[in-house]
């Protein structure tokens, strides 16, 4: 390009010289020959430059599809845990430290096809493989959501294929998704963009397939998703057996689920979402399966059907004329769960269907001390038979959303370095009227003497994202 500019300057000077030169015919002819020669060189260089620009554009277009984009989310956390048991005892851990690393990846070979994945390590400082003594620690639906050792696990990996665009865009997806930190829970986790689906009834890692339809209800920001997946497989025959990847236990069944998350309306300020979920062959108990050594409770899958539903509303910006209110957020959600046990089985300690209810409300507002800091307060209440799928909840003292009783929470989110480095100070108190939904989630919710009657979690974390 510099050569073209230089030659153009020469042509200009030559032309100017010609205009002021003596009208001698020989001089004029000689100058015209030079000008013609320079013009041809400029034309050739411009043609070559144009070809190079096309080649560079093609390379950039190719590279935009022919690579994997990576991102990092690293968090170091301190927690102080305190439990008061029903028998009067107190159990504490005053120095719980954890590291959590999410290594994300994304690629899009075409504008219709894309892939997203995430590898995760969530470990305790000085960890000693906690999951070895916890049969539910390493199950797929919370494999990387509970602090353990430094093993790398796949938190998510799925493709998305856009079938149609237009008025009702349709896409399909399959693979493993981290259905955690969903709508409304993202604030307490210090994450600006919520995951999917609704955190009030779903907070777990899932394997499944999804169909998404945009503009489903004809309202701004609306869509609906149809998700089918499996949270537990009954395979108990190893690959080296005579019948690999099968089950020989007739009472053990696959646990599948069907989820319909939906956005009813979203204009950027008001966001109304809902979800219905059904879990098939859910866990329960059967007295015929009691074994004093291996299965004293008679716990089993295939006990019956479980229904869940929630509707959640968020309003961001309460009054645009007042800065404090314009940067404040309020939200509220109501949810219910319903069991339907089969004959001969019990779910949540009852052979009859039981309904549980929950309410969740919160508010966030500017801290008035920093530029982007926000203070949040949340309240949760759950009834005796309230039983959501929130087993991957990132509160070390169990799931506060699943509390059967009352939960109170306050936190202060402080972003620095253009949001790439954040700090949170959080306090969570859970007052249990019934058994927690984390441990024996199929059992009678009545509190035992060895169960926690209340728990507290004081948390401080530092988080780097890029």
Handedness of CA 126, 132, 136, 140 (dihedral sign): positive
DSSP 346: B
| Exposure b/e, 31-68, CB count within 10 A at least 16 = b | eeeeeeeeeeebeeeeeeeeeeeeeeeeeeeeeeeeee
- Whether pLDDT at 6 is above 60: no
Q: Which of 66, 86, 107 is the last residue of a domain?
A: 66
Q: Residue 9 is encoded by which pair of tokens?
A: 């300057």
Tell me the residue range of the domain where 61 lies. Answer: 1-66
On whether the CB atoms of residues 337 and 201 are closer than 8 A, the answer is: yes
What CATH number does the domain containing 106 carry?
A: 2.40.160.10
pLDDT band at 376; cut points 50, 70, 90: very high
Q: Looking at 21, 43, 66, which one is the last position of a domain?
A: 66
In this predicted structure, what is the pLDDT of residue 4? 47
Cβ contacts of residue 168 below 8 Å, gap of 6+? 213, 214, 215, 216
Is residue 47 reached through a cis peptide bond, with omega within 30 degrees of 0 on the bond before it? Answer: no
pLDDT 10s digits, 93-125: 999 999 999 999 999 999 999 999 999 999 999
Mean pLDDT (the chain) is: 87
Looking at the whole model, is its pTM more than 0.75?
A: yes
| Domain end point (choices 21, 46, 66) | 66
Q: pLDDT digit string (tens) for 294-321?
A: 888 889 999 999 999 999 999 998 888 7
pLDDT band per the 50, 70, 90 thresholds, residue 138: low
- Give the best-scoring range by mean pLDDT among 10-24, 31-45, 120-134, 229-243: 229-243
Both 188 and 283 in one domain: the answer is: yes
The candidate with the shortest Cα–Cα distance to 402, out of 375, 427, 435, is 435
Cα distances from 412 to residues 199, 332, 362, 451, in angstroms, run 20, 19, 13, 30
User: Is 419 in the same domain as 390?
Assistant: yes
Is the pLDDT at 3 greater than 50, yes or no? Answer: no
Return the beta strands (E) in 42-169 as ranges. Answer: 69-85, 90-107, 113-124, 153-164
380 plus 415 within the same structural domain: yes
Number of domains making up the chain: 2
At 101, list the tokens: 């690393």
- Please give the pLDDT value at position 40: 79
Same domain, 372 and 323: yes
- Other CB atoms within 10 A of residue 453 CB: 18
| Of the candidates 395, 386, 388, 379, the residue with the CA atom closest to the CA atom of residue 435 | 386
Kindly tell me the sign of the dihedral angle through the C-alpha atoms of 232, 238, 241, 244.
Answer: positive
Residues 353, 341: contact at Cβ < 8 Å? yes
Quick one: 265 and 359 in the same domain?
A: yes
Total residues found in the chain within this entry: 466
Same domain flag for 141 and 154: yes
Q: Are residues 337 and 390 in the same domain?
A: yes
Q: Are residues 131 and 28 part of one domain?
A: no
Residues 452 and 376 in one domain: yes
């Amino acid at each position: 390009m510099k050569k073209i500019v230089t030659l153009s300057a020469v042509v200009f000077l030559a032309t100017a010289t010609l205009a002021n030169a003596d009208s001698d015919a020989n001089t004029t002819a000689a100058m015209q020959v030079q000008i013609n020669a320079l013009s041809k060189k400029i034309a050739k260089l411009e043609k070559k430059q144009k070809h190079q620009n096309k080649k560079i554009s093609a390379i950039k277009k190719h590279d935009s599809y022919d690579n994997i984009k990576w991102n990092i989310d690293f968090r170091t956390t301190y927690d102080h845990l305190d439990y008061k048991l029903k028998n009067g005892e107190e159990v504490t851990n005053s120095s719980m430290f954890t590291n959590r690393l999410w290594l994300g990846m994304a690629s899009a070979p075409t504008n219709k096809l894309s892939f997203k994945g995430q590898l995760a390590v969530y470990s305790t400082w000085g960890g000693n493989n906690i999951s070895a003594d916890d049969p539910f620690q390493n199950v797929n639906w919370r494999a990387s959501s509970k602090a353990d050792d430094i093993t790398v696990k796949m938190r998510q990996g799925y493709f998305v294929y856009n079938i149609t665009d237009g008025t009702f865009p349709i896409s399909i997806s399959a693979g493993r998704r981290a259905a955690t930190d969903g709508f409304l829970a993202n604030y307490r986790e210090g994450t600006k963009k919520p995951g999917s689906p609704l955190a009030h009834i779903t907070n777990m890692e899932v394997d499944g397939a999804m169909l998404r339809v945009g503009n489903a209800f004809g309202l701004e920001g609306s869509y609906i998703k149809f998700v089918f997946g499996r949270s537990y497989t009954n395979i108990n025959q190893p690959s080296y057996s005579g019948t690999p990847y099968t089950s020989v236990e007739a009472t053990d069944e696959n646990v599948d689920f069907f989820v319909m998350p939906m956005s009813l309306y979203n204009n950027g300020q008001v966001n109304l979402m809902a979800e219905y979920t059904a879990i098939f062959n859910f866990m329960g108990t059967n007295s015929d399966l009691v074994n004093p050594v291996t299965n004293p409770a008679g716990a089993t899958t295939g006990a019956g059907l479980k229904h869940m539903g929630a509707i959640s509303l968020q309003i961001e910006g309460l009054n645009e004329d007042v800065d404090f209110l314009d940067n404040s957020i309020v939200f509220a959600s109501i949810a219910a769960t319903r069991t339907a046990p089969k004959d001969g089985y019990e779910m949540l300690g009852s052979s009859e269907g039981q309904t549980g209810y929950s309410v969740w409300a919160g508010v966030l507002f500017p801290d008035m001390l920093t530029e982007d800091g926000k203070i949040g307060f949340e309240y949760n209440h759950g009834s005796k038979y309230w039983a959501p799928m929130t087993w991957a909840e990132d509160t070390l003292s169990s799931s506060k959303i699943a509390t059967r009783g009352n939960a109170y929470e306050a936190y202060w989110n402080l972003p620095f370095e253009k949001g790439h480095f954040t700090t949170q100070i959080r306090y969570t108190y859970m007052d249990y009227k019934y058994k927690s939904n984390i441990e024996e989630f199929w059992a009678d919710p009545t509190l035992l003497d060895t169960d926690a009657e209340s728990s507290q979690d004081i948390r401080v974390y530092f988080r780097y994202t890029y």
